[in-house]
Amino acid sequence: MKKTVSIFSSLALLAGVMAGCGPQDEAKPKENENEGKTEVSEDGMPPKPEKLVVWEDVKRGVALEPAIKAFEEKYGIKVEYKEVEMATKQRDQLRLDGPAGTGPDVITVPHDQIGQLVTEGLIREINVDQSVLDTFTESSIAAQMYDGKLYGLPKAVETPVFIYNKKLMDKAPETMDELYQFSKEFTKGDQYGFLALWDNFYFAHGVIAGMGGYVFKNNNGALDRNDIGLNNEGAVKGTEYIQKWYKELFPKGIIGENGGSAMDGLFNEGKAASVMNGPWAFQGMRDAGIDIGVAPMPKLPNGEPVKTFMGVKGWHVSAFSKHPEWATKLIEFITNEENAKKRFELTREIPPVKSLINDPLIAEDEGAKAVAIQSQYAVPMPNIPEMAEVWGPMATALQLVANQKAEPKQALDEAVKTIKTNIETNHPSK
């Protein structure tokens, strides 16, 4: 019986081999040949997936569509996208969809979420050529780093700039000293020469960092949570400078929770000649009938630029993607010069692509050019989880200083002490 089974097995195997040599096998080379027409030779790249999935921010798909179409034509890989709110929903949804195998290959999030995403194992490190990195401003690439490793490529930046009412101010001053003199002469009654929300650490950081302070020491792309520079000599000088403006020129109404709306109201009513604010404020000012001028922030009294905080939106590869190399190739493609320019045309999101800063499309847009220039001096908001412990204590310190209730050194020392305690409590060392 065993012998009979063996004979039938041998005959079946022979038939299979014969069939493999028959007419249907002749069609296989043609089929592969046809597939080869859409193949693009990529050194070291794995086989192409049939499809890649991208999560884009809401109301931004219009800018992604042309980039996707060009990618599909070049590489023969279908790309689908879904609009998912960027600030929180992409992160929250990836926590569920990623492990379930229904998530995307590529997501987009604000850079200050990178640390948390890496810690949770939701995004992966990427590797790209130096020529790709050289496309972008240094600060925007720094924003995509965590613990010295690269986790994404930047698509858009925003940072506070100097905005002025052209009816009240002829041109933007070059220095803060000039602005201070203008403000001393202009400020009277309910008229103000310049306003800034410097009791808010997001805005105050520009002055503090420009004078020599820092949040966490940056060691080649890795932030040291144990080295906090918010009460060093430079930080104290910066905070003393902030106190001077509050003591002599700023109204008390722009301090605290309602300070932002109070400042916006004064500017939009034509009662403030200039403010420090971000590109998100441009449209509201124009809608209020203000003819605005926009420029990089004037230089500080020490000759240094105001080192504003910068927010960077980036593209990242999901840790659950089965095609990480091609997902990386996709984000390289959709952030290249051509696609970055098209994104700006369609969404006005400002790309941190060095070659586009002087492109007429951006150079002739006063607001976009100012943000692009200022972003070169800006510092990416720290993207490590410990940053969550900084905002509250620094807000308390700055408001005490703004209200003349504490001296800068005392307030900053107390803030740093609280920050360190909170870090040890909420983020115990591994």
**pLDDT (tens digit, 9 = 90+) per residue, 218-259?**
988 789 999 999 999 999 999 999 999 999 999 999 999 899
How far is CA 292 from its chain centroid? 25
pLDDT at 36: 38
Closest CA to 381 of 234, 223, 242, 230: 223
Q: What is the mean pLDDT of residues 85-92?
A: 94
Q: How far is CA 177 from CA 182, 183, 225, 241, 315, in A?
A: 9, 10, 34, 11, 40
Q: What is the mean pLDDT of residues 365-379?
A: 94
Query: In which band, very low, low, confident or very high, does the pLDDT at 43 lie, cut at 50, 70 and 90?
Result: low
Q: What is the mean pLDDT of residues 327-353?
A: 96
- Mean pLDDT computed over every residue of the chain: 90
DSSP at 386:
G
pLDDT tens by residue, 24-41: 333 333 333 333 344 444
pLDDT at 430: 61
User: How much of the chain exceeds pLDDT 90, in percent?
Assistant: 86
pLDDT at 28: 34
- Write out the H or E segment, with its range, that includes residue 92: helix 89-100
pLDDT at 40: 46
Q: What is the mean pLDDT of residues 115-134?
A: 96
Residue 48 has pLDDT above 70, yes or no: yes
Residue 261 has pLDDT above 90, yes or no: yes
Q: What is the mean pLDDT of residues 107-127?
A: 96
Output the DSSP codes for 105-131.
SEEEEEGGGHHHHHHTT-B------HH
Alpha carbons 6 and 10: distance in angstroms, whole number: 6
Q: What is the mean pLDDT of residues 99-121?
A: 96
420 vs 19 pLDDT, higher one: 420
Exposure of 28 by Cβ count < 10 A (0-12 exposed, 13-18 middle, 19+ buried)? exposed
Residue 268 has pLDDT above 70, yes or no: yes
pLDDT at 406: 97
Residue 8 has pLDDT above 60, yes or no: no
Query: In which band, very low, low, confident or very high, does the pLDDT at 23 lie, cut at 50, 70 and 90?
Result: very low
Q: How far is CA 231 from CA 93, 96, 313, 417, 424, in A?
A: 38, 41, 30, 10, 18
- Write out the H or E segment, with its range, that includes residue 285: helix 282-287
pLDDT tens by residue, 299-322: 999 999 999 999 999 999 999 999
Packing angle of the helix pair 233-248, 201-210 (nearest 10 deg): 120
pLDDT at 41: 46
Backbone angles phi, psi at 376, to 5 degrees: -75, -25
| Residue found under tokens 């990427």 | 126
pLDDT at 267: 98
pLDDT at 184: 97
Cβ–Cβ under 8 Å, residues 78 and 51: yes
Give the three-class secondary structure for 216: strand
pLDDT at 403: 96
pLDDT tens by residue, 167-225: 999 999 999 999 999 999 999 999 999 999 999 999 999 999 999 999 999 988 789 99
